[in-house]
Amino acid sequence: MGYLEYLLYFRARVVWDGRNLPSYLGPSVLELLSLFVLLLVNSITLFALSILLLRSLWSLGANITTIEGWEIERHSALLRRARVLGGYLDGPDGLRVKIFKQEFPYDIGIYQNIKQGMGGGPLSWLWPLAASPSNDSGLEFEVNGFEDPSVVWPPPDPDRIPRRLRPVNPQDAFTHGHYPTSKEEQIDSFRRRQERDIARIRVPHSQVQRRRPFHERYSHAEELDAVERGTESDGRRSSEGEEGWRNSEGDRLQDFGVDEDADFYDEDNVPLAELLRRRQSKGN
């Protein structure tokens, strides 16, 4: 592509030098368009490949892959954070990790780095048919010895340290400390819960208010309307019954999108003859 760029450059230079000549002395429009497209595409591609080549040569000379370059940048960021926080960073479970500067251990010199990556000598590097390094060369790598052998790479990162495993007690999965196993224990547990529910319902200022019987609500219609308008705002049991249920914060069912005007539950204690009479009157 470099040679093609060289040839295209000279042709474009000739066209540019003769830009003031008559058009019939130069190339046609199709030839100019083809030259421009080829020059543009080849220049962009050659520029991108040149950057990639320089990056590959630098990585080969420094013996640093892309991921190892990210690890070096991450280690530099941890050093800056630790320098501000006194040399320590917080990890999971209250663990404090001391951060100290570490040198990249696999940079053993430019020539040795290239030899380790390409194998052989300088002549084999330029020979396309030269043998590639064996697979065994990718299992062990020479280090520069700047750091103690006990120091590992990549350096520890508090943000990537896993949490310690905690022992799991199977009994913690149950809500109660003692789960009833026998039938008698289950019955006793149910009765105790039932007694607590009844005692909670009987509390004057309980959050859950029981519905009043239908005949009491039917005989006090005017009082129900007054309560509906909000005249009765104290903490006593609402005369509206279930329709006027409020929680401890004063919210009603209609505040949560529930239709309080539905009266299907009012027919629970109404005689069957009365229900038939009402349906007949509605049908007429």
H or E element in which residue 98 lies: strand 96-98
Q: Residue 63 class from Cβ within 10 Å (0-12 exposed, 13-18 middle, 19+ buried)?
A: buried
Mean pLDDT throughout 243-263? 57
In this predicted structure, the answer to whether residue 218 has a pLDDT above a threshold of 80 is no
The residue-averaged pLDDT of 262-277 equals 59
Single pTM value for the model: 0.48
* Domain extents in the chain: 2-127+138-160, 168-194, 203-283
| Cα(242)–Cα(254) distance, integer angstroms | 12
Distance CA 148, CA 151 (A): 5
Say if residues 44 and 98 touch (Cβ distance below 8 Å): no
**Are residues 103 and 144 in contact, defined by beta-carbon separation less than 8 angstroms?**
yes
Counted residue by residue, the chain has a size of 284
Look at 53 and 226; give whichever has higher pLDDT: 53
pLDDT surpasses 60 at 176: no
Quick check: 108 and 144 in contact, CB under 8 A?
yes
Q: How far is CA 220 from the centre of its chain?
A: 58
Gyration radius (Cα) of the chain, Å: 43
> Please, are residues 169 and 134 in contact by the beta-carbon 8 Å criterion?
no
Residue 123 CA to residue 156 CA, distance in Å, equals 41
Residue 129 CB partners (closer than 8 Å, separation 6+): none
pLDDT of residue 45: 94
Q: How confident is the model at residue 220 (pLDDT cuts 50, 70, 90)?
A: low
pLDDT in tens, 100-158: 888 888 888 888 888 888 877 888 888 888 877 776 666 778 888 888 878 888 887 88
Q: How many CB atoms lie within 10 A of CB 203?
A: 9
Residue 158 near residue 95 (C-beta atoms within 8 A): yes
Amino acid at 72: I
Which contacts qualify for 68-77: CB closer than 8 Å, 24 or more apart? Answer: 68/104, 68/106, 71/153, 71/154, 71/155, 72/104, 74/154, 74/157, 75/102, 75/154, 75/155
Phi-psi region of 241 (alpha: psi -120 to 50; beta: other; left: phi over 0): left
In the block, residue with structure tokens 């009157």: 281
Q: What percent of the chain has pLDDT over 70?
A: 66
Residue 249 in this model has a pLDDT that exceeds 90 = no
- Give the pLDDT score at 44: 94
Label residue 37 by pLDDT band (50, 70, 90): very high
